């Protein structure tokens, strides 16, 4: 007979009658084991519910500065792991019936200190009549955050006369911090890493597509401010 369990049960009954201090607060009895937390600890990381799936405002605020997100569909506005966003981009490219022969690189024509968020980009392009999605399919912020912001199956609104068969990628920046705010390649190391990942993925799916900067299709534009050109810089991916 386990006398400790019997005493503990009696103390609980007395506590329910408000006659004694609750057992969990008594110093002479060990605290109850938290079975739920122990089970969670034993789970491999892949089975623990990711924070981005929790819907409370408190949990969502903890995800500010997430490294990737999809801004349309069921995952809209939810921070997601970069690998998940890239996986979704890959699957949607493979399902899309659009024939892609150009991958066009842009800049947002803003200074790096302007904090041109995805929300500001969406608002700006909506005002220009581009619809519910930004004109670019992919947006990369200064901290390297990746946004898949326009379905690849939907024609872009980023380069006149070439939207039907292209995918548009934009990096945040393109203007210097100098007093005259001249056009300048302002890509950060984080942006370069993210851009490399995205371009490798797109080249794998569209091996015949050419990479060009906006300027090469419209000489009146300085965008994306790369010198000498996007094609030369990324020849190690797309070939010469």
pTM, full prediction = 0.71
Residue 105 per-residue DSSP state: E
Average pLDDT, rounded, for the chain: 78
Q: What is the pLDDT of residues 52-102, one digit of tens each?
A: 222 222 233 333 345 899 988 776 767 888 999 999 999 999 999 999 999
Give the pLDDT confidence score for residue 1 in this predicted structure: 56
Domain membership flag for residue 99: yes
Beta bridge partners of 169: 105, 138
Helix, strand, coil fractions of the chain, as percent rounded to 5: 40, 15, 50
Give the pLDDT confidence score for residue 174 in this predicted structure: 93
Mean pLDDT, rounded, for 144-155: 94
Total structural domains within the chain: 1
Q: How many helices (H) and strands (E) does the chain have?
A: 9, 7
> Of the candidates 164, 163, 166, 117, which has an alpha carbon nearest to the alpha carbon of residue 140?
117
Tell which phi-psi region holds residue 206, choosing left (phi > 0), alpha (psi between -120 and 50) or beta.
Answer: beta
Domain membership flag for residue 3: no
What's the token pair of residue 201? 């993925």
CATH classification at residue 139: 3.40.80.10
Give the pLDDT confidence score for residue 151 in this predicted structure: 94
> Of the candidates 154, 93, 143, which has an alpha carbon nearest to the alpha carbon of residue 118?
143
Q: What is the pLDDT of residues 111-148, one digit of tens each?
A: 988 999 999 998 888 888 888 889 999 999 999 999 99
Strand blocks (E) in 90-204: 102-107, 138-140, 146-148, 166-171
Distances (CA, A) of 232 to 15, 191, 226, 235: 77, 18, 10, 5
pLDDT-based confidence at residue 180 (cuts at 50, 70, 90): confident
Domain membership flag for residue 2: no
Residue 229 has pLDDT above 80, yes or no: yes
Cα–Cα distance between 151 and 71 in angstroms, integer?
Answer: 9
> Of the candidates 189, 170, 182, which has an alpha carbon nearest to the alpha carbon of residue 121?
170
Domain membership flag for residue 113: yes
Domain membership flag for residue 120: yes
Residue 22 has pLDDT above 70, yes or no: no
pLDDT-based confidence at residue 8 (cuts at 50, 70, 90): low
What's the token pair of residue 140? 């990369």
Contact 172, 110 (CB under 8 A): yes
Cα–Cα distance between 93 and 81 in angstroms, integer?
Answer: 19
Domain membership flag for residue 13: no
Cα–Cα distance between 207 and 162 in angstroms, integer?
Answer: 18
Residues spanned by the domain of 82: 66-238
DSSP helix/strand/coil, 171: strand
Cα–Cα distance between 40 and 43 in angstroms, integer?
Answer: 5
Share of the chain above pLDDT 70, in %: 71
Strands 68-70 and 146-148: parallel
Domain membership flag for residue 131: yes
Question: What phi and psi, each to the nearest 5 degrees, are found at residue 175?
Answer: -120, 140
What's the token pair of residue 51? 């924070």
**Burial of 117 by CB count in 10 Å (0-12 exposed, 13-18 middle, 19+ buried)?**
middle
Domain membership flag for residue 33: no
Contact 158, 170 (CB under 8 A): yes
């Amino acid at each position: 007979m386990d006398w400790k369990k019997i005493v503990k049960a009696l103390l609980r009954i007395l506590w329910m009658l408000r006659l004694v201090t609750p057992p969990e607060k008594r110093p002479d009895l060990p605290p109850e084991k938290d079975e739920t937390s122990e089970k969670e600890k034993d789970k491999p990381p892949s089975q623990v519910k990711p924070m981005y799936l929790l819907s409370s405002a408190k949990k969502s605020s903890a995800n500010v500065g997430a490294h990737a997100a999809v801004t349309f569909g069921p995952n809209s506005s939810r921070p997601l792991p970069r690998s998940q966003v890239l996986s979704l981009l890959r699957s949607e490219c493979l399902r899309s019936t659009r024939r892609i022969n150009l991958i066009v690189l842009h800049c947002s024509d803003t200074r790096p200190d302007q904090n041109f968020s995805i929300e500001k980009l969406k608002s700006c392009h909506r005002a220009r009549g581009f619809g519910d999605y930004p004109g670019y399919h992919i947006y990369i912020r200064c901290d390297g955050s990746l946004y898949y912001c326009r379905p690849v199956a939907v024609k872009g609104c980023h380069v006149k006369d070439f939207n039907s068969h292209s995918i548009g990628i934009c990096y945040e920046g393109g203007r210097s911090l100098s007093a005259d705010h001249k056009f300048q390649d302002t890509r950060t190391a984080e942006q370069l890493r993210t851009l490399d990942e995205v371009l490798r993925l797109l080249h794998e799916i569209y091996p015949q597509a050419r990479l060009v900067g906006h300027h090469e299709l419209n000489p009146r534009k300085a965008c994306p401010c790369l010198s000498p050109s996007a094609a030369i810089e990324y020849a190690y991916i797309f070939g010469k």
